[in-house]
Structure 1
Amino acid sequence: MSRKRTMLAALGGAVLAPVLMLIGPGIASAHGYVSSPPSRQAQCAAETVSCGDIKWEPQSVEGPKGLQSCSGGNDRFADLDDDSKGWKLTPVSTQVTFTWTFTARHRTSDYEYFIGGTEVASFSGNDQAPPATVSHQVDLSGYPGQQKVLAVWNIADTGDAFYACIDLNVS
């Protein structure tokens, strides 16, 4: 009997393992951030600005949908909310191309871009997983000078989003 149970357990594990691999990573491993122009977490990873834990995982700024914070409400990444940290401004024209880099992809509802709580652009994700990078061109002609852009990647099958702030000098 014990040999029969061992065989059944092995067979069950062989059948169940691929299913768990498909389900598990789809929920927990989605990660991404704005790499260009360099977001605050990209600046931390490049050691342009001294930061805490975000230095090691710029792609992990995840929080509930609907927030307006650079840290996504994540206390571990609170440095991202500190406007006095000396973030480097990227000089840009009024047409800015934002590039998201994904280390793990997730079905996407949409991408949103905000300045001062006002949505300046939105792009559909078509409920599909993105490629390794995604770029959006955003018109910032109504926002000259120093601006902090909040970029949000709203994933489709959970209540979470990924957040990135980008410091710009729009001319």
Structure 2
Amino acid sequence: MRKKISAAIIGLGIAGVSLLGTGSAGSHGYTDSPTSRQEFCANGTVQDCGDIQWEPQSVEGPKGFPSHGPSDGTICAGGNSRFAQLDDPRGGQWPATPVTAGQSFTFRWRLTARHATTDFSYYLTKPGYDPTRPLTRSDLEDQPFLTVPYGGRIPDATVTHQGTIPDGRTGKQLILAVWTIADTGNAFYACSDVQF
């Protein structure tokens, strides 16, 4: 009997440690349309990505973008140094999704864990953006071109939003997608390189 109780206590202890180890990351997600940098790393298209290749869903950082959130130069990694490879512009050579100014586009998130949501927002870089430099706030338009409010609802595991790609861009640009969580201090970030 004593062995069974001890085994049960040990089992509960291991389960508790496992829950604590994952508790800080109760929600996870990334974009795969347009394809995000973390998705390119996870599917092996881009090499030398570090930990993000196993955790494309884990680019979590402080919410409140653009007034708060990750600092300039660390936006694509959500301010998380473990995923700093996402902030490396790689000489402007990240693969890019072809887009056309003014086209209707379906933006898609893959959520590996769902959570109460404030909104999803999408920002586009300004004309003159230099894809060979780390992303800063001054590279992005001040306002998102698409915001989808959720009012604290929990989204499905696959989330799609229909929007229009803004006009006035040519060449290589970047779309920053931000999933803001309602009941934590965090948001999830995904940078997708696009080619006009």
Provide the TM-score with structure 2 as the length reference.
Answer: 0.70
The counterpart of 1:57, out of the listed 52, 55, 58, is 55
Displacement over 4 Å in runs of 4+: 24-27
CA distance in 2 between partners of 1:162 and 1:129 (Å): 15
1:150 aligns with 2:176: yes
Aligned equivalent of 2:33? 36
SS of residue matched to 1:44: helix
Q: Deviations over 1:113-165 (max 9, x none)?
A: 11232221111122111101111122123243221000000000011000000
Matched residues, number: 152
Provide the TM-score with structure 1 as the length reference.
Answer: 0.80
Percent of residue pairs identical = 50
Q: Which has the higher strand share?
A: 1
CA distance in 2 between partners of 1:27 and 1:156 (Å): 15
CA distance in 1 between partners of 2:163 and 2:189 (Å): 17
- Tell whether the 8 Å contact from 2:99 to 2:165 is kept in structure 1 after alignment: no
Q: Which has the higher helix share?
A: 1
CA distance in 1 between partners of 2:180 and 2:116 (Å): 9
Read off the aligned partner of 1:126 and give its amino acid letter: G
CA distance in 1 between partners of 2:90 and 2:24 (Å): 35
Deviation at 1:49, TM superposition (A): 0.8
Computed over aligned residues only, the root mean square deviation of the Cα atoms, in angstroms, reads: 2.3
| Greater radius of gyration (CA) | 1
SS of residue matched to 1:127: coil
The counterpart of 2:113, out of the listed 98, 104, 115, is 104
- Tell whether the 8 Å contact from 1:32 to 1:102 is kept in structure 2 after alignment: yes
The counterpart of 2:122, out of the listed 106, 110, 113, is 113
Residues 45 and 30 of structure 1: is their aligned pair in 2 closer, same or farther, counting only changes over 3 Å? Answer: same
The counterpart of 1:72, out of the listed 58, 75, 78, is 78
59-68 or 160-169: bigger deviation: 59-68
- Tell whether the 8 Å contact from 1:26 to 1:106 is kept in structure 2 after alignment: no
The counterpart of 1:129, out of the listed 154, 161, 167, is 154
Aligned equivalent of 1:3? none
Unaligned 5+ residue runs, structure 2? 126-139
